[in-house]
Amino acid sequence: MLGLTTYLTHTGHHSVVATNPAGALYRYLSAAGLLVCPLRVRNSCDLLAGLRLRRLVTSGRYDLVHFHTARAHALSPWLTNTGAKRVVTRRMDYPLKKGRITRFLYTHSVDAVVAISGGVRAALLAAEVPAARLRLIPSGVDTSRFRQNPLARAQIRSAYGFGAHETVVLSVGALATRKGHRTLLQAAQQLKGQGIRLRYLVCGDGTLRAALQDEARTLGLETEVRFAGFCSEIPQYLSAADLFVHVPLWEGLGVAVIEALAAGLPVVASQVGGIPDLITDQQTGLLVPPQDATALAEALSRLVQARAWATTLGRAGQARAQAQFDVTVMAQHNAALYYELLEVSP
Whether residue 335 is found in the same domain as residue 316 = no
Q: How far is CA 308 from CA 67, 313, 314, in A?
A: 44, 9, 10
Whole-number percent of the chain with pLDDT over 90? 95
Question: What's the residue count for the chain?
Answer: 346
> In the prediction, which pLDDT does 93 show?
86
Q: What is the mean pLDDT of residues 225-245?
A: 97
> In the prediction, which pLDDT does 345 show?
80
Whether residue 148 is found in the same domain as residue 132 = no
Asked whether the beta carbons of 268 and 165 are under 8 A apart, the reply is no
pTM of the predicted protein model: 0.90
**Quick one: which of 152, 155, 178, 181 has its CA closest to 169?**
181
C-alpha–C-alpha distance, residues 11 and 27, integer Å: 22
Whether residue 297 is found in the same domain as residue 160 = yes
C-alpha–C-alpha distance, residues 89 and 331, integer Å: 13
Tally the domains of the chain: 2
DSSP 106: I
CA angle 186, 192, 193 (to 5 degrees): 90
**Quick one: which of 275, 242, 220, 35 has its CA closest to 156?**
242
Whether residue 308 is found in the same domain as residue 173 = yes
Q: What is the mean pLDDT of residues 167-176?
A: 97
Whether residue 320 is found in the same domain as residue 330 = no
Whether residue 122 is found in the same domain as residue 256 = no
Whether residue 178 is found in the same domain as residue 304 = yes
Whether residue 100 is found in the same domain as residue 168 = no
Whether pLDDT at 346 is above 80? no
Whether residue 84 is found in the same domain as residue 164 = no
CATH no. for residue 21?
Answer: 3.40.50.2000
User: What is the span of the domain harbouring residue 209?
Assistant: 143-324
Whether residue 110 is found in the same domain as residue 170 = no
Whether residue 283 is found in the same domain as residue 334 = no
Q: Note the pLDDT tens digit of each residue in 87-129.
A: 999 998 888 988 899 999 999 999 999 999 999 999 999 999 9
Which residues, at least 6 apart from 82, have a Cβ–Cβ distance to it below 8 Å?
54, 57, 58
Residue 83 CB coordination number (10 Å): 10
Q: Note the pLDDT tens digit of each residue in 265-279.
A: 999 999 998 999 999
Residue 44 CB coordination number (10 Å): 13
> In the prediction, which pLDDT does 189 show?
98
Whether residue 119 is found in the same domain as residue 46 = yes
